Structure 1
Amino acid sequence: MSEKLSQVAVTAVTDVTINKNSHLAAVPSTAAAKKGVTLPTEEQRPCYRCYPEAFKVNGKRYDAGLYFHDSIDDGRSKRSCDHWLCASLEVVAMASDTGHSYSKLLHFVDAEDQQREFLLPMQMLKGQAEDLKGAFLDMGLSLELKRFHLLRDYINKAKPKRRIKLAQKTGWADEHSFLLPDVDIGTGDYVLAHNPFGSADYGIAGTMQDWQQQVAAYAQDNVWLVVAIGSALAGPLLLKLELSNGGFHVYGDSSIGKSTISRVACSVWGAPDKFIKTWLATLNGQEGVAASRNDTLLVLDEIGESDPAEVGKIIYQLGNGQGKIRADKLGGVRPVQTWRLMLLSNGEHPIEAVLQQARQQLKAGQQVRLTSISALRQHGCFDTLHAFTRGAELADHLNQACNQHYGHLGTAFVRRLVQQNTSELKKEFAGFLQQFDAGHGQGNRIAKRFAVIAFAAELAKRWQLLPWPQQHALTLCLQLYAEWQASQPQGSHEDQAIITGFIDYITRYSDTRFSALSDADHRASPRTGFFEFINSQCVYYVTSTGLKDMFPSMDSKRVVRALFQAGLYYQTGPKERALVKRIHGKPVKVHALCLPNDAQ
């Protein structure tokens, strides 16, 4: 929320429980005191009132702030007492999330006379509200600790007329409202839940113009820098264009500029040092990180720091956009964290190589969610150096500029996006997608990712947020997409994984899990099958059990079809691809397979 503090002279909450306390004199202050303010009458007491400015009544000075006005009757006389509770503080609105998570929005002045805002969850008022006391002190609210119970009572009894909706995470609250920490872009009907995880990672520093001149201008003609900025802007488009989560894993040797790519992307939304996250996290830990990046961008640095056994699960989780289902203390189900986001990762090795360290194979679902692409260009990860002589110099300049100027582009982009018609956006995006020769299946999802990155960047150019020529981002995204397509083997990823898995298995276990057909005394344990040489070609007779051992998590029919289509069957039966062969005097159903010529 960005509304200013109300400038009314006083606010009041009446009909409260009377608390008998000794008189607390007004706090002295050097600020000029306002005249003409009146204190509540005896009939109006007890009540609370907030005074934004210091004031004088009957020559007595009172400091600005929230007061509890009371009266004391000792049986002989009745006298008024005015208790200063804290610096100026008002309860301006009530917020809730569809009848749950009730909170109150507070406006107050901190110790440096800065206007502050605090969304107070009502549950913080329970008991003695010690957590709330600590929160106020941490935020710089000057208060009288001895009478904190009166401040708590005031907040609890306040009934502001304004009602706003509470959102639990960043991103789209509805079609016309986009929330970031401390920023409601759109209708103003929402407020972001107080201090959600990762809210401090967003921020603004420097100027938009300096970011454009010192960062975006040097991204021009550099494929990966353009893709990085486009990826950061694509997050808010996913919901409107009905696209799924996903992103790219940028890999290559150390010190070629991969981290610079990531930091440039981070600078779209916040300070790179805060916004960038590490792969060094558990599966559960990545949930909170992903939810904090809802509808924006998640950047994960250095996959080499991760646990290889967890990487595959994390990719699925991030791509699916949903965390684990967990039970609460009462046996019910906790709210499941969800997110939509673009993902940008980096490391020295592709995802497939990382998974192999844990003896896992890259699955098609993982590849389509996080696609590995080499970062290597002409100058490290850069295509052009502009005025610099070495890639390291350009990287140093960009890293320094991103640390000084950040957070402007993302907010400016969304401010324009909330004004757009969703149907028109979808029509225009369809035209972009046609240029990427999407095809079907897995390739279609990856093509959509390239297309939405180009689309986001071209929209930003149209809205004069990026200093690039028109169609520049589209041209470079088409170039990188063509390069990626050229690097892909023919056939589906599942087929390639099966063929690779077969070759790896034979290479690893041919001497230990296969017995020579001519050697009846050799006992391989466990046994996958047998082998013999026919015309100098080694034929492996794999049993049905052995085939399941090769591919324990895959459907055998799917495996057989891929091996057959790849021409790896040496011999098949008349009706099925397995055949019955007499081995050591007994009929055995086997698959007669050979390694491809280039693998023998």
Structure 2
Amino acid sequence: MDIDCKEAPFLAVIAARTFITDLARAYDGFDPTMLDYFMSGSKGVHIRIPTEIFGGENGHPFLPRLHRKMLERHFLHHPHNQALGMLALGESVPAKLKDKTVGDLVDESLYCMGKGHLLRAPNVRRPDGRYKVQVSVEAFFERDIDSLLDLTRKPNTISVLAVPPTATGMADLYDHVLINWQSLDPRSYNLQSLSECQFMRHCREHAEILSEPEWFMMLRALAPLGEKGLELAQEYSRPHAEYAPEKTRAKFLHALQKGYPASCEEIQAIFQCSPRCKVRSPLDLERKRQSDTVVAAESFSPEKDGLYYSPSHGTLEGDSFKVCSPLKILGKMRNTDGTGWARLVELVTPDARNTRLSIAMKDCAGHGDSVLAMLCDHGLELTGGKMGKFIMDYLRLAATDKVFINVERLGWHGNRYVLPDAIFGEGGNEDINYTQGNSLFKCSGELAQWQEHIGRYCRGNTLLMLVSAFALTGPLLHLCGVEGGGLHLFGPSSTGKTTLALLAGSLCGGNENKGFVRQWRSTHNAIEHTAVQHNDGLLVMDESGQATADTVAQTIYMLSNGQGKERMRADATQRKAYQWRVQLFSTGELTMDEKIEETGKFRAMAGQNVRVVNLPIDRGAGKNSYSCLYGFENPASLSEHLKDATRHFYGTPLRAFLTDLCGTSNQELDANGADIKENIEKFAKLYCPDGSCGQVRRVAVKFGLIAAAGMFAAKNGILPWTPDESRDAVAEWFRIWLEGRGGVGNLEIMKALDRFKDFFARHGRSRFVEVNGLGENMRDLAGYRWEDKGEQRFFMITPAFNDLAKGVNRHELLEHMKQQGWLLTSGKGSLVTTKWISGRNVRGYGFIPSAWEGLAGNIEVKPQVKAGDMEFGGEF
């Protein structure tokens, strides 16, 4: 090692003595007499440390790198980290050197592992007229520094009685850095490096005639690669006539047990190859490539004014040059499925803005023209036309060990919940990089301020309490295994719908303008992208009247289904479809059914009413949303206050909710999830009436989710009311929904029955002819009519029945009609499906209109259960 200090050579001697003395103190068996000492002209000291002292091997391709790491680790400790000014008390130390340490004086260019560094031979005259001369260990430590430096004025040949070097405690230091070097995963080796070895290439190309000694030597060369080596051994051995997988495996394990790979010296004994590769074993070709990569990475230095490159990786002053404007690699990056490796970089634009970019590694192959074009397009400035090569080397080789997970959507990633600027939950060593900018997930104010200016005015106003709890349900969809969907508040204009939309959004984020609210005025293609940005969260969309009926119908289905359309990329490969889980909060003057059917082109299906639940803002009875005014003059004044407050205080409730939900460990998250699921089940069991159809039960679960979210938030002090109050508010609005629905039966069946009743009322005379056949050729014939004991009967032909029953399970509809006494049956109770008319059998169904008109005589009509007949209560 070289310890140089041209400005004050005596400091180099002090540093060298300190270094050697500390080695003797720190490592058992270390004897300074085992080293060779040289005074190097008028600038410092050169010391030769034999590899035997620390258990190294001469010729090891990584040895310079290991030397450097040994020094770096050793220099971390006292006295090497002590300022030279303190070590040279009483000496006149130049001011700029007083804070330097021993390590600062070591010339690290010896460890460059690049172009060879020539060491000056003893007694060769230096340009300054001085000589490099060897001195004895006694002279080095006992003579005064001035006389030592005077020895360099002329050649000096002495006879030094050196002590043979032996292993010392320094082996522990060497083993530590060696283990770190060996921690490079063999599975990451670029095995193409093996093809550079003539012997390995010979084994591959002549596998069918390989001799037994050559074959075993090949196995020994591959043994350090473990399972990958065995895989290659089988592949290389397969062409041989005597190949057997079991024999190859057994022989490979035997080679592995030797504990060291085949050396080039051993290979030369059975195969003559060129010595030009200058390594000890075939695998050292790959190790050398990796060491070159490490050194190349250390040659780059991101500074405030730009990226610099130093051929000596910073060890020689003045050799660095500027490559480009500021550019820094923040880390490596991959997708959640382990693909899509990239570099996350940050550059500074000419107008001093910091910009982050993702550079795909697949684009870094070759010259990287597309990468350079993208960087320059975003503001990177190169200092010269040939600097592109250095930038590409920097991107390929200089990445840190930090790994980011690249995410295109927010929400749950494993057990961590991701927002654009925060991660909740127990995490690993990987950080998150969210690629889709979203300005809506912001915070303003503190949670206490949101509670003071917004939350406290919701208490007692059950619709506002329901909306507040609903806003927090998004993160629970995945956790509780509940389907996505939403709430749609409908009612006349100027009834506070927009205020409620702003209220819902204020729990999750916002800004000073429209807060967290988005508009329905969009295409469903754009809504796909919006849904991804709100994954596992709340999506607020105001004024459904701005959208077309087609957009509303497709959006409701798409948002609830959780997946967008599959599309093709420009290269004709299929792009992965967007996926999400989202809770929609919507407002409009019409119900979703009315909006979808307003043009007459579409028919609203019952499934859409289950996915997005319609709630009347006036409770279905013309009432106001605000029961408690808290001193405000009227509901409009309170509404205006809430609107204004949501522009100043937002985003904190969701973050507090996620913090409490995730807790400090995955176990706490699981426990919270279990409690919330239990509360969902309790709510549905308690408040869903017996005999309810599947649609009602599904909606009961949705309201149960809202209740459970509100109870959890109230229990943790996020919503300023009690858990019981939160549950009761949700139960009240579930009752209102049931009353508005008209019962607990299947909504599709109920709508179909209404269509049939309306059809008979409007067309009972115009489209049904007398059963005697007169008028049978009428246009749009729907069936026949007659009287039986004074009561009207109809026989509807099959085509007309099927047209009215579109979108409904026909067998379920017929069974329901039969139970209600609507249909003619035979004496055995089976349906009448044919009737002899005008000499032929006509297929269809017979109807008894008095069954739905309340005049069915002795026919029992089973009434539907009405919400008003239900009792709500019990303990939760």
Q: Normalised by the shorter chain, which TM-score bucket?
A: 0.7 to 0.9
Residue 399 of structure 1: aligned partner = 643
CA 310–412 in structure 1, closer or farther in 2 if over 3 Å, else same = same
Q: Which letter does structure 2 place at the counterpart of 1:468? A: W
Residue 565 of structure 2: aligned partner = 324
1:597 to 853, 856, 870: 853
Where does structure 1 lack aligned partners over 5 or more consecutive residues? 1-34, 53-63, 72-78
Residue 737 of structure 2: aligned partner = 484
Q: Provide the rounded CA distance (Å) in 1 between the counterparts of 2:430 and 2:555.
A: 31
CA 278–514 in structure 1, closer or farther in 2 if over 3 Å, else same = farther
Q: Which letter does structure 1 place at the counterpart of 2:407? A: A
1:242 to 478, 481, 497: 481
Q: Which letter does structure 1 place at the counterpart of 2:642? A: L
Residue 48 of structure 1: aligned partner = 300
CA 421–203 in structure 1, closer or farther in 2 if over 3 Å, else same = closer
Farther off after superposition, 297-306 or 577-586: 577-586
Once the two structures are TM-superposed, the CA of residue 179 in structure 1 deviates from its matched residue by 0.6
2:470 to 231, 242, 267: 231
- Cα-to-partner distance string for 1:190-211 (whole Å, 9 max, x where unaligned): 5555432x62332222333322
Q: Which letter does structure 2 place at the counterpart of 1:356? A: E
Once the two structures are TM-superposed, the CA of residue 295 in structure 1 deviates from its matched residue by 0.9
Alignment of 1:287-306 (within 5 A): 287-306=528-547
2:774 to 515, 520, 527: 520
Q: Does 1:172 align with 2:412?
A: yes
1:335 to 571, 576, 586: 576
CA 468–577 in structure 1, closer or farther in 2 if over 3 Å, else same = same
Q: Does 1:437 align with 2:711?
A: no
1:98 to 337, 342, 346: 337
Q: Does 1:208 align with 2:452?
A: no
Q: Does 1:458 align with 2:711?
A: yes
2:587 to 328, 332, 346: 346
Residue 586 of structure 1: aligned partner = 840
Residue 395 of structure 2: aligned partner = 155
Q: Provide the rounded CA distance (Å) in 2 between the counterparts of 1:49 and 1:402.
A: 47
Q: Give the structure-2-normalised TM-score.
A: 0.56
Q: Which letter does structure 1 place at the counterpart of 2:749? A: D
Q: Does 1:568 align with 2:822?
A: yes
CA 522–104 in structure 1, closer or farther in 2 if over 3 Å, else same = same
Q: Which letter does structure 2 place at the counterpart of 1:335? A: K
> SS state of the match for residue 211, structure 1?
helix
Q: Does 1:494 align with 2:735?
A: no
Q: Provide the rounded CA distance (Å) in 1 between the counterparts of 2:439 and 2:757.
A: 49
> SS state of the match for residue 372, structure 1?
strand
Q: Provide the rounded CA distance (Å) in 1 between the counterparts of 2:493 and 2:362.
A: 49
Once the two structures are TM-superposed, the CA of residue 146 in structure 1 deviates from its matched residue by 5.9
Q: Provide the rounded CA distance (Å) in 1 between the counterparts of 2:433 and 2:788.
A: 71
CA 242–201 in structure 1, closer or farther in 2 if over 3 Å, else same = same
**Higher strand proportion (structure 1 or 2):** 1
Q: Provide the rounded CA distance (Å) in 2 between the counterparts of 1:400 and 1:131.
A: 46
- Cα-to-partner distance string for 1:341-396 (whole Å, 9 max, x where unaligned): 22211111222222332354433322211111111157633222222122222221
CA 361–88 in structure 1, closer or farther in 2 if over 3 Å, else same = closer
CA 528–266 in structure 1, closer or farther in 2 if over 3 Å, else same = same
Q: Provide the rounded CA distance (Å) in 1 between the counterparts of 2:629 and 2:518.
A: 27
Residue 674 of structure 2: aligned partner = 426
- Cα-to-partner distance string for 1:508-553 (whole Å, 9 max, x where unaligned): 6556643344662353333322334567755332112221122233
CA 589–92 in structure 1, closer or farther in 2 if over 3 Å, else same = closer
Once the two structures are TM-superposed, the CA of residue 560 in structure 1 deviates from its matched residue by 1.4
Alignment of 1:335-374 (within 5 A): 335-357=576-598, 358=600, 360-374=602-616
Contact 1:48/1:154 (CA < 8 Å) preserved in 2?
A: yes
Alignment of 1:65-76 (within 5 A): 65-69=306-310
Q: Which letter does structure 2 place at the counterpart of 1:371? A: V
Once the two structures are TM-superposed, the CA of residue 96 in structure 1 deviates from its matched residue by 3.2
Residue 22 of structure 1: aligned partner = none
Farther off after superposition, 85-94 or 324-333: 324-333
Q: Which letter does structure 2 place at the counterpart of 1:467? A: P
- Cα-to-partner distance string for 1:253-306 (whole Å, 9 max, x where unaligned): 111011111111111222162632233333333322222211111222222222
Contact 1:165/1:189 (CA < 8 Å) preserved in 2?
A: no
**Higher helix proportion (structure 1 or 2):** 2
CA 503–291 in structure 1, closer or farther in 2 if over 3 Å, else same = farther
CA 146–597 in structure 1, closer or farther in 2 if over 3 Å, else same = farther
- Cα-to-partner distance string for 1:461-501 (whole Å, 9 max, x where unaligned): 22222222342211211221222233333322232122122
Contact 2:420/2:438 (CA < 8 Å) preserved in 1?
A: yes
Q: Provide the rounded CA distance (Å) in 2 between the counterparts of 1:163 and 1:341.
A: 29
Contact 2:323/2:382 (CA < 8 Å) preserved in 1?
A: yes
Alignment of 1:99-118 (within 5 A): 99-107=338-346, 118=357
Q: Provide the rounded CA distance (Å) in 2 between the counterparts of 1:83 and 1:340.
A: 48
CA 154–463 in structure 1, closer or farther in 2 if over 3 Å, else same = same
Q: Which letter does structure 2 place at the counterpart of 1:262? A: A
Instruction: Give aligned pairs, total.
Output: 543
Once the two structures are TM-superposed, the CA of residue 118 in structure 1 deviates from its matched residue by 4.9
Q: Does 1:132 align with 2:371?
A: no
Q: Provide the rounded CA distance (Å) in 1 between the counterparts of 2:373 and 2:820.
A: 65
> SS state of the match for residue 808, structure 2?
coil
CA 531–460 in structure 1, closer or farther in 2 if over 3 Å, else same = same
Farther off after superposition, 356-365 or 557-566: 356-365
Alignment of 1:265-276 (within 5 A): 265-271=504-510, 273=514, 275-276=516-517
Contact 1:40/1:69 (CA < 8 Å) preserved in 2?
A: no
Q: Provide the rounded CA distance (Å) in 2 between the counterparts of 1:227 and 1:480.
A: 8
Farther off after superposition, 110-119 or 307-316: 110-119
CA 566–248 in structure 1, closer or farther in 2 if over 3 Å, else same = farther
> SS state of the match for residue 201, structure 1?
coil
Residue 496 of structure 2: aligned partner = 257
CA 338–96 in structure 1, closer or farther in 2 if over 3 Å, else same = closer
Larger radius of gyration: 2
CA 483–553 in structure 1, closer or farther in 2 if over 3 Å, else same = closer
Contact 2:768/2:781 (CA < 8 Å) preserved in 1?
A: yes
Where does structure 2 lack aligned partners over 5 or more consecutive residues? 1-98, 115-294, 313-317, 857-876
Percent identity of paired positions between Structure 1 and Structure 2: 23
Contact 2:417/2:424 (CA < 8 Å) preserved in 1?
A: yes
> SS state of the match for residue 404, structure 1?
coil
Q: Provide the rounded CA distance (Å) in 2 between the counterparts of 1:538 and 1:328.
A: 64
Q: Provide the rounded CA distance (Å) in 2 between the counterparts of 1:228 and 1:548.
A: 41
Q: Provide the rounded CA distance (Å) in 2 between the counterparts of 1:93 and 1:541.
A: 74
Superposition RMSD in Å: 3.6
Farther off after superposition, 113-122 or 151-160: 113-122
CA 458–185 in structure 1, closer or farther in 2 if over 3 Å, else same = same
- Cα-to-partner distance string for 1:560-588 (whole Å, 9 max, x where unaligned): 12222233225657453234333334332
Once the two structures are TM-superposed, the CA of residue 330 in structure 1 deviates from its matched residue by 6.0
Once the two structures are TM-superposed, the CA of residue 433 in structure 1 deviates from its matched residue by 3.3
> SS state of the match for residue 565, structure 2?
coil
Q: Which letter does structure 2 place at the counterpart of 1:66? A: L
Q: Which letter does structure 2 place at the counterpart of 1:167? A: V
Q: Provide the rounded CA distance (Å) in 1 between the counterparts of 2:450 and 2:373.
A: 40
Alignment of 1:271-290 (within 5 A): 271=510, 273=514, 275-290=516-531
Q: Which letter does structure 2 place at the counterpart of 1:217? A: R
Q: Which letter does structure 1 place at the counterpart of 2:799? A: T
Q: Provide the rounded CA distance (Å) in 2 between the counterparts of 1:260 and 1:518.
A: 64
